[in-house]
Amino acid sequence: MFLEHTRKHLPRKGCVEVITGSMFSGKTEELIRRLKRAKIAKLDVEIFKPGVDVRYDEENIVSHDSNFIKSTPIPSSSNLLLLSHTVDVIGIDEAQFFDDNLPAVVEQLAAQGTRVIIAGLDMDYLGKPFGPMPNLLAIADYITKVHAICMHCGDLASHSHRTVQDDSLVMLGEKESYIPLCRMCFVKAVQHSEVKSKENSK
């Protein structure tokens, strides 16, 4: 009771935390861990994810290890301002799928005193910066880069390699469509795919 009473009289300090890395690196797992700790601390917590991502569950955020936490799917970053203006901590998963206005919304929330914790892919399947993630990394107070294990050599992996033929930038998928690779193995895999594509076009 004393802790709750004291907290209500302290000014809220906003910040932006970004958890990033390749697929299968544990981003969502780390996001869930931090949000559950915030709940234990009796803070008001809201969790959001893009409405497009329903791979595991329509509402819950679910990690590859089947850890989950209830979330609210939203179609646009502007919805964050409408749904969370009095919240202490906001969690955002799969941030790369949101619109380019997300960094501005996040900065506004942090300025209001909200702790914003974001998880998202920093690079797409081509190894290029993904959606609003570069700008989110630029404005972040804290950045955590997590790594998967390269499926070719066993080194630390930082790239998500698409193993199926599809040129769409956004293609939801799991282990049947993507594998994590280190930089060197990723470059070799891309080169191999380009050679194969040229041979098939002849």
Contact 143/106 with Cβ under 8 angstroms? no
| Structure-token pair, residue 140 | 């972040």
Residue 194 catalytic? no
DSSP state of 131: T
The one catalytic residue in 17, 30, 46, 94 is: 94
Give the Cα separation of 148 and 27 in Å (integer): 10
| Structure-token pair, residue 76 | 């646009």
Q: Which is nearest to 13 in space by CA: 118, 110, 108? A: 110
| Structure-token pair, residue 34 | 């931090």
Contact 23/147 with Cβ under 8 angstroms? no
Beta bridge partners of 3: none
Could you list the active site residues? 94
